[in-house]
Chain A
Amino acid sequence: MLTAKNVARLPVVAAIMKGKTFAFAEYQDFDGQSMVGMARKISSIPLLVVDEIPREQAYFLLHKLRRNFLFAFATALLLVLLTGWMIACSITRPMDRLTAGTKRIADGDLDFSPADFPHDEVDTLADYFNRMVMALKDYRVRCQQAEKLLSESE
């Protein structure tokens, strides 16, 4: 609250007393509250009009917008995370299955047959992988037959 004693110490009043016709400032009042102040010199008489309003009330729309902005940003972040997670999963899951299959084949299990891949490049890779496994199986059978024939002829 302004009193006769402290009103001259307001930055807007001080600016007018220095010769300005209009002054606008944001400052802390004598109670420590953030205020928005404006002052204007009255042209016909030696008086000035001072308008003081708490900053929070002056910028209430901004506070409301900031809240909405934060909410929108959080929602966007969540959506981006979800979409990113889904895209990353759609790429890495088939790759993981192929990696697991490769490990089983490396361990000698040729019965593994990867299936149900999405229709994209990974599907083509899985298709070639299956053909490679089939060729390996065929090669193994022929090797076993040749080995059997060799042992019978001996």
Chain B
Amino acid sequence: MKISLFSKLLIGFLLVAMIPLGFGMFSFSQVVLKSQHLRVQELGKARLEMAENIIAERVGSIDRDLRFLVQRLEGQITDRRFLHYPYEKNKEILKILVADTDDWVKASLFRYGYIADGIQVPHWEIGGDHLVLFTTWNQEPQLQIIYPLQDPLTSENLGTLRAEISLKNLFIDLVDYNRSGNSGQLYIVAETGKNCFSS
């Protein structure tokens, strides 16, 4: 096959010019791709951290109030007045009760329903992490927290302070997530894999 000098020159010039140009563009695109992956990952991490901080801060605040209450009780586990401070301060607390070692209710405050003092409630295990449960009637996520009550002088076990916190109310701050320029969706999921909230 006879190839003209013109074709040879044109193809030669194309090859000489396009090989480094193509290689340079490919390398640059790889660098950009990698940096974009990192950017997306870092932005995502920051968004998750923000959501985590909002939740952890609220739960931490309630936890501090309840621990303060445990210290204040100092063995007076039947005095309901002490329960009012964390209960009124934190609207997320749905239920707060003090039970003795045999799970008989000594004092309690409820936002919905009522449990009279002297009624025996189901046993909760002390220790381990807080527990996320879903109410049977409307599948609302709730956080159950339990603290042991001890006599400050004898360290004798007096019972437990139990609180149920509405996670639904806790996540209200996250509703604004999509309004802050994020086009994504934020979900809060229980460790059991159940969805608790979506922005």
Contacts and interface: CB of A to CB of B under 8 A. Distances in A.
Interface of A: 1-4, 7-8, 13, 17, 22, 24, 36, 38-54, 57-59, 61-62, 65-66, 69, 72-73, 76-77, 80-81, 83-85, 87-89, 91-92, 95
B60 interface: yes
Nearest to B43: A58
Nearest to B39: A61
A129 to B, nearest CB: 18
Interface stretch (B68-76, B96-104, B189-197): B189-197
Contacts of A54: 183-184
Interface residues of B, number: 54
Contact of A73 (B4, B6, B25): B25
B52 to A, nearest CB: 5
Interface of B: 4-6, 9-10, 13-14, 17-18, 21-22, 25, 29, 32-33, 36, 39-41, 44-45, 47-49, 51-52, 55-56, 59-60, 63, 129-132, 139, 143, 167, 182-196, 198
A99 to B, nearest CB: 10
Contacts of A7: 187, 189, 193-195
Contacts of A53: 44, 182-185
Contacts of B186: 49-52
B191 A48 contact: yes
Contact of A95 (B5, B17, B22): B5
Question: Chain B at the A interface: mostly helix, strand, loop or mixed?
Answer: helix
Contacts of A73: 21-22, 25
A65 B32 contact: yes
A43 B56 contact: yes
Nearest to B47: A51
Nearest to A84: B13
B143 A45 contact: yes
Given A2-B198, A7-B195, A80-B21, A87 B13 contact: yes
A107 B130 CA distance: 105
Contacts of A4: 139, 194-195
Given A7-B195, A40-B49, A58-B40, A50 B10 contact: no
A38 B18 contact: no
Contacts of A49: 48, 51-52, 55, 186-189
B48 A17 contact: no
20 contacts: A7-B189, A7-B193, A7-B195, A13-B189, A38-B44, A40-B49, A44-B59, A45-B55, A45-B143, A46-B131, A47-B167, A48-B191, A50-B188, A54-B183, A61-B39, A76-B21, A80-B13, A84-B13, A88-B10, A88-B13
B24 to A, nearest CB: 10
B191 A47 contact: yes
Contacts of A80: 13-14, 17-18, 21
